Amino acid sequence: MIRVESISKHFGGLKAVNDASIQIESGAITGLIGPNGAGKTTLFNIIAGVYQPTSGKVFLDDEDITGLKPHQLFGKGLLRTFQIAHEFSRLTVLENLMMVPGGQMGESITNTWFKRKEMMEQEKKIAQKAREVIDFLNLTHVIDELAGNLSGGQKKLLELGRTMMVEAKVVLLDEVGAGVNRTLLYEIGDAILRLNRERGYTFCMIEHDMGFISRLCDPVIVMAEGAVLAQGTAEEVRSDEQVIEAYLGRGLKNKKDATSGEDRESSASSEVVSTREGNNEEAIS
């Protein structure tokens, strides 16, 4: 579905992404992992049209989309989630979803004057759709709550909900689990799985939590120092020597059995775990 071909992105002398090629297959939940500074977010930003690559190409269903702007990609169903912007925190959950641009006609003056009836009908449809999304995400109990009052995890669900207001085909998630408690992380995982299975969403997600990655993602792509290092199932990449090396190589030597991660969802005994705060210090082999 998405084919990234030999993408490089240099910031001055820094090669943030260096000749990376990946594929995001239709219908899959692809995981993108790697130590801090590996170039994951930069690669996402290039796919999503936020950055222009220094070189290389990105294809969506064989169409060259390199250099298209985020709103153009949005129209093609390729979107990345963004944190709820500050000004949206004073709107309710329902209002937030109704604000998602999806070709509402209410915005132009001409429409306001001449197409009042159609406009109101459309608004009703949008509200209906928003309610359906809210039900799907189990957010019904906070439908009239201001977005600013939601917990971190509920905000993430709302961000996911915004992608459901448009016809999203591929959704890029950058650290959707960061700062979210275990219970809500599990719920977010559920929502992602259901969107994938029931609604046909294709996902690519950057995540540091290996338990979360193992539960949701196949395949998992590992980046390190701007390049793609490995690809396989979560289990395969976890036992890949090069991958372990990439995590360990950054300031952590032989720190074995540091933590067993008992409350994690994964039952695997060999884990490479890196948390945002931990700066890769929890890599375990």
Binding site for ligand ATP (CB under 6 A): 11, 14, 16, 34, 36-42
Residue 114 interacts with which of ligand ATP, Mg ion, none, CB < 5 to 8 Å by class? none
Least CB distance to Mg ion at residue 235 (A):
24
Q: CA distances (Å), 78 to each of 1, 69, 136, 171, in order?
A: 11, 11, 21, 6
DSSP secondary structure letters along the chain: -EEEEEEEEEETTEEEEEEEEEEE-TT-EEEEE-STTSSHHHHHHHHTTSS--SEEEEEETTEE-TT--HHHHHHTTEEE--PPPGGGGGSBHHHHHHTS-S--STTSHHHHHH-HHHHHHHHHHHHHHHHHHHHHTT-GGGTTSBGGGS-HHHHHHHHHHHHHTTT-SEEEEESTTTT--HHHHHHHHHHHHHHHHHH--EEEEE-S-HHHHHHH-BSEEEEETTEEEEEE-HHHHHT-HHHHHHHHTTT--S-TTS---TTSS---SS-B---TTTTTTTB--
Residue 37 interacts with which of Mg ion, ligand ATP, none, CB < 5 to 8 Å by class? ligand ATP
Residue 224 interacts with which of Mg ion, ligand ATP, none, CB < 5 to 8 Å by class? none
- Give the residue with the Cβ less far from Mg ion, 27 or 179: 179
Residue 120 interacts with which of ligand ATP, Mg ion, none, CB < 5 to 8 Å by class? none
Least CB distance to Mg ion at residue 44 (A):
8
Task: Give the residue from 203, 211, 216 showing the smallest Cα distance to 174.
Answer: 203
Residues 25-54 that bind Mg ion (CB under 5 A): 41
Least CB distance to ligand ATP at residue 49 (A):
15
Residue 31 interacts with which of Mg ion, ligand ATP, none, CB < 5 to 8 Å by class? none
Least CB distance to Mg ion at residue 40 (A):
5
Residue nearest to Mg ion (CB): 41
Residue 38 interacts with which of ligand ATP, Mg ion, none, CB < 5 to 8 Å by class? ligand ATP
Least CB distance to Mg ion at residue 35 (A):
10
Least CB distance to Mg ion at residue 184 (A):
21
Residue 165 interacts with which of Mg ion, ligand ATP, none, CB < 5 to 8 Å by class? none
Residues 62-121 that bind Mg ion (CB under 5 A): none
Q: What residues pair up with 9 in beta bridges, in sequence order?
A: 17
- The C-alpha atoms of residue 211 and residue 238 are separated, in whole angstroms, by 11
- Give the residue with the Cβ less far from ligand ATP, 11 or 114: 11
Least CB distance to ligand ATP at residue 108 (A):
35
- Give the residue with the Cβ less far from ligand ATP, 34 or 219: 34
- Give the residue with the Cβ less far from ligand ATP, 8 or 41: 41
Residues that bind Mg ion (CB under 5 A): 41
